[in-house]
A and B are shown apart, each in its own frame.
Chain A
């Protein structure tokens, strides 16, 4: 199994541009999590899905952020318009329901200038 796959690995963009981050889950996992990590705030949960349904999006910073899970294996996190304070590493993770273990992707490092 290839594990959780995220793209792009790195993105540099200018303020105001739209950013789309992508995530492919591990086959057989039915929960997906989007986290954001910064030096100041650590690892923060943005949103999580269970069986393609958003369960808790209370961590989504504001309306500029949106996430979708159009099918059981794929999700996107969109920021529109992006701002410099959105610069962070965005991790996607999927969950083994039997053990509770989270498997993380390698992250998407976003820099907004």
Chain B
């Protein structure tokens, strides 16, 4: 089993739709969680950190469920510019190592 797993998609949604991605992780001792965004042929960039209490940044909401070992990302009122690959990232040990999921591809259509 992979340490961090995501549905690769693609998720094809119309503009204005709400879409949610889940990500599961295998190491119950994982400490930190993030969502990164990667545009085609570009480098990954931090979208948002995921806090235990859940957090929101504009149209984006991230949540953590430690009991079930998953994190989620909700995008409301999706825009064409949201089309990208969303990478779930987990810090699985006390050091700096971040493990990336395989990514979920989102395509927002007009």
Contact = CB atoms under 8 A, between A and B. Distances in A.
B44 A43 contact: yes
B55 to A, nearest CB: 14
A31 B101 CA distance: 21
Contacts of A42: 100-103
| Interface residues of chain A: helix, strand, loop or mixed (majority) | strand
Interface string B40-61: 0011111001000000000000
Contacts of B87: 43
A55 B103 contact: no
**Among B42, B44, B49, B89, residue most surrounded by chain A Cβ atoms (within 10 Å):** B44
For chain B, which range describes its interface: under 10, 10 to 19, 20 to 34, or 35 or more residues? 20 to 34
A48 B95 CA distance: 11
Nearest to A49: B96
A33 B44 CA distance: 13
B7 to A, nearest CB: 13
Contacts of B100: 35, 42-43, 45
Given A45-B100, A50-B95, 11 more contacts: A33-B98, A35-B100, A43-B44, A43-B100, A45-B98, A48-B97, A50-B96, A55-B95, A99-B49, A100-B91, A104-B43
Interface of A: 31, 33, 35, 42-43, 45, 48, 50, 55-56, 91, 95, 97, 99-102, 104-107
Interface of B: 32, 34, 36, 42-46, 49, 87, 89, 91, 95-103
